[in-house]
Chains A and B, each alone.
Chain A
Amino acid sequence: ETGVTQTPRHLVMGMTNKKSLKCEQHLGHNAMYWYKQSAKKPLELMFVYSLEERVENNSVPSRFSPECPNSSHLFLHLHTLQPEDSALYLCASSQGSRGPTSTDTQYFGPGTRLTVL
């Protein structure tokens, strides 16, 4: 595998389910991101991890819970989601000299298309 991979690619879940999204980067980067992409909205940053520590949490509802066990893996745990949470969830990684900066190139995975019924 190369680049950034995400699994599953598609997920349909009920509002009472618990599921997890997985992201893996094979680039040796030191920062990883979760974004939400909804129709007609800019990419919304959800979480940033730098060197396995969360450095950004953009007022995301607690029904989304991130986990970064090491620099190559990032998870997004989902619990009791709402239909408006249906979106494409994108993972990205970047390499910065001292953590993430806005000039760092972000490499995106293919995304997980989530549908909440």
Chain B
Amino acid sequence: TQLLEQSPQFLSIQEGENLTVYCNSSSVFSSLQWYRQEPGEGPVLLVTVVTGGEVKKLKRLTFQFGDARKDSSLHITAAQPGDTGLYLCAGAGGSYIPTFGRGTSLIVHP
């Protein structure tokens, strides 16, 4: 069974701070996706990383896929209140259904 561990589970920061959240596994994934879920809504895809060592940037968000394709990180620069939400990672590979982590709940205070 493939598992994805996300850390930290909760994060509460002030506007303007930087943060990094992690998604780790002992399994290798062919690709990994990051979603953001806002309160009362479903998850929305932010990015898919495919190649080991790959780095993708989406405005103030930087996503990295580990060289061994077992882990990933999401770094947010100068966080804003609009970044508040639950960040989920999902790994593909093995089963035809992606494996989801439990998520990191981020609150950015104005």
B-binding residues in A (CB < 8 A):
4, 40-43, 45, 48, 56, 90-92, 99-103, 105-111, 113
Q: Cα distance A109–B31 when bound, in Å?
A: 23
Q: Cα distance A40–B31 when bound, in Å?
A: 24
Please indicate the chain B residues that have their CB under 8 angstroms from the CB of A42 in the complex: 4, 99-103
Shortest C-beta distance, B104 to chain A (Å), equals 12
Please indicate the chain A residues that have their CB under 8 angstroms from the CB of B96 in the complex: 99-102
Question: Chain B at the A interface: mostly helix, strand, loop or mixed?
Answer: strand
Q: Is B76 an interface residue (CB 8 A)?
A: no
Shortest C-beta distance, B44 to chain A (Å), equals 7
Asked whether A45 and B97 contact (CB < 8 A) given A105-B48, A111-B42, the answer is yes
Q: Cα distance A105–B45 when bound, in Å?
A: 8
Are B94 and A102 in contact, with the CB atoms below 8 A?
yes
Asked whether A110 and B94 contact (CB < 8 A) given A40-B102, A42-B100, A43-B88, the answer is no
Q: Is B64 an interface residue (CB 8 A)?
A: no
> Which residue from chain A places its CB closest to the CB of B41 in the assembled complex?
A110
- Count of chain B residues with a beta carbon within 8 Å of a chain A beta carbon: 26
Sorted from nearest, which 6 A-B pairs have the closest CB atoms? A108-B42, A102-B92, A43-B100, A103-B92, A42-B100, A102-B98
Q: Which of B53-97 contact A (CB under 8 A)?
A: 88, 91-97
Please indicate the chain A residues that have their CB under 8 angstroms from the CB of B92 in the complex: 101-103
Please indicate the chain B residues that have their CB under 8 angstroms from the CB of A107 in the complex: 45
Q: Cα distance A45–B41 when bound, in Å?
A: 17
Q: Cα distance A42–B2 when bound, in Å?
A: 12
Q: Cα distance A105–B92 when bound, in Å?
A: 10
Q: Which of B33-50 contact A (CB under 8 A)?
A: 33, 35, 40-45, 48
Are A102 and B42 in contact, with the CB atoms below 8 A?
no
Q: Is B30 an interface residue (CB 8 A)?
A: yes
Shortest C-beta distance, A86 to chain B (Å), equals 16
Contacts beyond the supplied A42-B101, A108-B44: 13 A-B pairs with Cβ under 8 Å: A42-B4, A42-B100, A43-B43, A48-B97, A90-B42, A91-B42, A100-B97, A102-B94, A102-B99, A105-B45, A106-B98, A108-B43, A111-B40
